[in-house]
Structure 1
Amino acid sequence: MKFLYIAALSLTLFSSACSKNEANAQSLDSKKKEKNLYEVKFSKLSEKYKEDKKLAVEDYYKSYIDKGGFSGGFLVAKNGEIIYEDYQGYSNFEEKEKITKETPMHVASVGKVITAVSVLRLADKKMLDLDQKVNTILEGFPYSTITVRNLLSHRSGIPYYGHFTEKAGVWDRKKTITNKDVLELLSTKGIKLDFTPDTRFTYSNTNYVLLALIVEKITKKPFKEALDGLIFTPLKMENTFVFDDMTKKNEVTQSYYANNKRMHWDYLDGTYGDKNIYTTPRDLLKLDIALYSDEFLSKKMKEQMFKGYSYEKSGQNNYGLGLRMIEPSGDGDLYTFHNGWWRGNKTSYITIRKDSATIICFNNKNSSLAYKTKALAKEFGNFPFIKDAEE
């Protein structure tokens, strides 16, 4: 199977009809792309360090993740250098199409990191404000106090669309729901908030469906083209795309049960921003590296991204802007990550900022082995609150 869905998108970031800010942003990004100003200068790893870490990582991978039947991609890097990577299984089991380093996989909620970065880049360009009310951007949005930041940090109180569409008279579940449909339902069906905005955290995919619509509204581009201009093209993420065309669902990497039976698609598979971003471990590493560059995302914006927003309850777990985190109460480093799960695709992305290390694992065979990456983080940082992996 060829990955036909990766079509050639326009390299023009924003149309001539865009605002002056958009035009300036386009010119700025073009110059940065040409000069490669997003490149980050890390200190070079010694050969001994790389060999020692490779042995430790490979041993862990073989012991806890690749134990037979693993299907996906695995990569560990430090200072932007790949220490170890491996690819197993099939993107299309029926056709025996193997997963390789160039195979885009559905990364489920790990894609929220990419959605968040696109919003933060727009904020950096002064094209929106994180504390801007959503109803000033999205026409018909019915909740007057919810801000963009509330959506990013899952503090809006908006319920998950997969729940309220199950209620009688809200949605015909024989029809695939889209991002615009979700907004329309919020606008017309009297969907009540789960709690007063910005009073607590509750994870809801609806937040990121709305963020994708905000990106489209601000850029005047479909989400896939907006992300191409804001992130994928500047970082040369050539095997990354937003999936938004259900007629082409057989042209992308499929997901399977443990017995290799293909999983079915349903009415919830049509939204993007909360999911439906396909990428590779190598491409995601490019984004991870760029996030160390103050040219790609300003220091001020990264400070907002990598801090917690929910302190109503005591505990170490928290959420920033598009990232989960564990904030140690005593000794230990800040642990930032995002896991994902959608229709058999279980994924993990760990970014250890203090030690500039990255651990990425995608799988398409409904296996929770991808989450075993958590204990591996102790190879690169001080995380006494992370338990060792268990068989």
Structure 2
Amino acid sequence: MRNFVRNTLAQNNTRGSIVIIKNGQPQQISNGYAWYGKKVGNGNDNVVYPTASLQKVVTAAMIIQLMNENWHTSQKFTQNTKISRWYPNLKNADNITIGQLMTHTSGIQATNTELDRGKVLSENDAINWAIDNTNNGTQGTPGTYFYNNTNYLLLAGIIIKISGQSYENNFNNRIINKLGLANTFLYQDIPSWKTDPISYVWNNGKNYQDAEYVKKTLASQLPGAGNMFTTPMDYYKIQLGLTNGSILSKSDFYYLTHLKSATTNYSGGLHLDDDHTKSAYGSLSNTHFGNWIKMTTDNRYGIIMFLNQVSGDETAQKNIGTKILDHIKPRMFDKDNNQDDQDLINISGN
């Protein structure tokens, strides 16, 4: 398996770190350099990767936790609660539910969330910018799917408002501490002995071209939507935690992935294919990272793929992952294997 995975990556001029899961057993396999200039290898214990949109399920899970905790309090809310409760000055908030934020069906079509504005923002500053940007932008009809980071920036703000604590504190207490994760951080908390990787492209027969990394200014713009860094093995533990009671129970996970406002198979940060397979894709504008997860919902088979050198688009990256999945268990993932996360449909406008 290790040779197959490494050869598949090499043959496709791709570098990164991958966890494959077979019969419930995870195995990490890495190829190439996370930082070519310093010869830091992918899979090095000190490297933590940007998750981009793979963070969204974590934010959505914390919303479900808060729903449960406040069920018998004055702050009770459900997927059908209008977000005007928390955002009275947001355009059309009276017509948008929290479930619609979680399924990208809010109608919000705000742009430029991933255009690096060159300034490190606090969580509240980033969320307030998203509100202003939404109010000044085009608004679609609630109930129509349009993938947009703003939905999850607003969810991060709701977490702050309900809990009375920062998103950072909620993330650390509800996710990291609950799972005992040693290699998962929000960008601002990455310790000095860790490093985030550089991203590259394969170009004109050469590896490690056009180096780009996630700048602190960009990460600070995306609380709840793209400022989490981790390893594929820690992310595997997060996936386990979504159903084993550490983060959510199985019934909570079902609720999360079957929100009534969903108009596609996207719900709560994941695509769900006929209750058998979950998936998500993530990338960040002006970098070359490509992240893909595709797993069975019982977590027994699948792949978590963090790529830092690519030689093709989202479809090409998924095709590499699909070859590996077919080697793990032939034909298990045949159905709909190219219909998950539509992040890149709108990524240039996000």
TM over 0.5: yes
Alignment CA distance shift 1:119-1:311 (3 Å) = closer
Matches within 5 A, 1:276-295: 276-294=227-245
Q: What corresponds to 2:210 in structure 1?
A: 261
Q: Distance in 2 between matches of 1:242 and 1:355?
A: 25
Instruction: Kindly tell me the number of residue pairs found equivalent between the two proteins.
Output: 314
Q: Determine whether 1:272 maps to 2:223.
A: yes
Matches within 5 A, 1:100-119: 100=43, 102=45, 103-119=47-63
Deviations 1:355-379 (A, max 9, x none): 6323111012245564222354452
Q: Distance in 1 between matches of 2:126 and 2:111?
A: 7
Matches within 5 A, 1:1-391: 55=1, 59=4, 61-67=5-11, 69-78=13-22, 80-82=24-26, 84-100=27-43, 102=45, 103-126=47-70, 128-138=77-87, 140-142=89-91, 143-162=93-112, 173-175=117-119, 179-185=123-129, 187-188=131-132, 190-197=135-142, 199-244=143-188, 251-258=195-202, 259-263=208-212, 268-270=218-220, 271-294=222-245, 296-307=247-258, 318-327=265-274, 334-342=276-284, 343-354=287-298, 356-368=300-312, 370-371=317-318, 372-378=320-326, 379=329, 382-386=332-336
Q: CA RMSD in A?
A: 3.4
SS of residue in 1 equivalent to 2:302: strand
Structure 2 letter corresponding to 1:161: T
Q: Distance in 1 between matches of 2:262 and 2:172?
A: 35
SS of residue in 2 equivalent to 1:360: strand
* Alignment check: 8 A CA contact 2:266 2:272 kept: yes
Structure possessing the higher relative contact order (Cα contacts under 8 Å, 6 or more residues apart): 2
Larger Rg: 1
Q: Distance in 1 between matches of 2:246 and 2:186?
A: 24
Shift of 1:229: 0.4
Shift of 1:245: 7.5
What 5-or-longer segments of structure 2 have no aligned partner? 203-207, 339-350
SS of residue in 2 equivalent to 1:155: coil
* Alignment check: 8 A CA contact 2:50 2:228 kept: yes
* Alignment check: 8 A CA contact 2:60 2:269 kept: yes
TM-score (norm 2): 0.76
TM-score (norm 1): 0.69
Which 10-residue stretch deviates more, 186-195 or 232-241?
Answer: 186-195
Q: Distance in 2 between matches of 1:115 and 1:311?
A: 17
